[in-house]
Amino acid sequence: MIEKVSAAVKFLKEKGFDSPEVGIILGTGLGALAEDIEVIQEFVYANIPHFPIATVEFHKGKLIYGKLEGKSVVAMQGRFHYYEGHSMQQVVFPVRVMQMLGIQKLIISNAGGCMNLEWKKGELMLIEDHINLQPDNPLRGHEANAFGQIFTDMSQPYDVEMNKELIKIAKDKNISLNQGTYISVTGPSLETRAEYRFLKMIGADVVGMSTVPEVIAANQMGLPVSAISVLTDECDPDNLKPINIEDIIATAKTAEKDLVILLKELLKRI
C-alpha cells in the first residue's frame, strides 16, 4: 500500500500539486465549496494511479488543487465508502495521499441523519467525538504500519483548536452549529426504528456511513482533523417516514451555504 500511495503522490506532484496546506473532503451534496477554489490543477479519480473509483452517483469523483482564502488546498469532490465495496485501505487511500503531499490539517464534511430530536434537518453539527460501528478498521493488517503506530490513540480524535475556532465563527456569523457525537455504520441501507433507538441509546446524535475511517487514518499520521455533519433528515423512531434520497440531497444543498461560510472563514484563521 505504501508503494501505491507513493506512486499517486509522485504523479500528483509532477502534475503541479505543490505542497498543499489543507485537505478538504466534501461529502454527499456538499460540492459547492469546490466552485470557490481557484483551480490550479484537477483530475478525475480514474486518472490518478491506484485511486479508487467513486461509484455513488451524487459524488463527482474529482481531486482539485488550488487556492482558497489564501491557502493552498487539495479537495476531494466526492469520497469513498466501505459500502461501495471498497476495502478500508481504499477508503482512506486519499487521506494518506494528501498527508504525503504535505497537508497540515484536514477538514471533513458529511451528510447524516439526525437522531437528536432537539435539532432540525438543515442544521449543522460539529463532530466532537464518534462511535465506530464499521465492521473493519483501516489500521488492520501489516501494511498499515508504514503510516504510523497502528495502536493509535483516539482519546481526542478531533482537533480542539480548529473546533474552538469553528464555534467562534458560527457565533460571529449567526450560524446554528450544534455539537455532538457522530456514529458511523456500514450502510447503504438506512436504519430501522429499533436501530435508531439503539444508536441514540448508546450515545449518538447523528448517524452516517463515512468519516470515521478517514479520521482514524488522519490520527495515525498525526494529522489534525475537524469534521462537520449536515443534518439531512430527522430520525425520530416514533414518527419515522419513508426516506427520500432526493430530499436528502436537496437539504444538503440548502444547508451548504452555511457550511461554505464556516469552512472559508476557518481557512482564513488557521
- pLDDT tens-digit profile of 79-92? 999 999 999 999 99
Grouping H, G, I as helix, E, B as strand and the rest as coil, residue 26 is: strand
Average pLDDT value for residue range 26-36: 79
Give the H or E element holding residue 166: helix 160-172
Residues 6+ apart with CB under 8 A from 177: 124, 125, 126, 166, 167, 170, 228, 262
Identify which has the larger pLDDT, 32 or 115: 115
CA angle 113, 116, 241 (to 5 degrees): 50
pLDDT band at residue 29 under the 50/70/90 scheme:
low
Across the chain, which distance is largest between two alpha carbons, in Å?
55
Among residues 49, 40, 46, which one has the least CA distance to residue 17? 40
The total of other beta-carbon atoms located within 10 Å of residue 53's CB is: 12
User: What is the rounded end-to-end Cα distance, in angstroms, of the chain?
Assistant: 31
Q: What is the pTM of this model?
A: 0.94
The arithmetic mean of pLDDT across residues 43-53, rounded, is: 91
Kindly report, residue by residue over 122-150, the tens digit of the pLDDT.
Answer: 999 999 999 999 999 999 999 999 999 99
Of the candidate CATH numbers 3.30.70.270, 3.40.140.10, 3.40.50.1580, 3.40.710.10, the domain formed by 2-269 belongs to: 3.40.50.1580
Structure-block grid coordinates of residue 85: 465495496
Burial 103-121 (b: 16+ CB within 10 A, else e): bebbbbbbbbbbbbeebeb
Closest by CA to 75, choosing from 111, 32, 118, is 32
Q: Per residue in 169-201, pLDDT tens?
A: 999 999 999 999 999 999 999 999 999 999 999
Q: In this structure, how many other beta carbons lie within 10 angstroms of the beta carbon of residue 7?
A: 14
- Per-residue pLDDT for 255 more than 90? no
pLDDT at 56 over 80: no
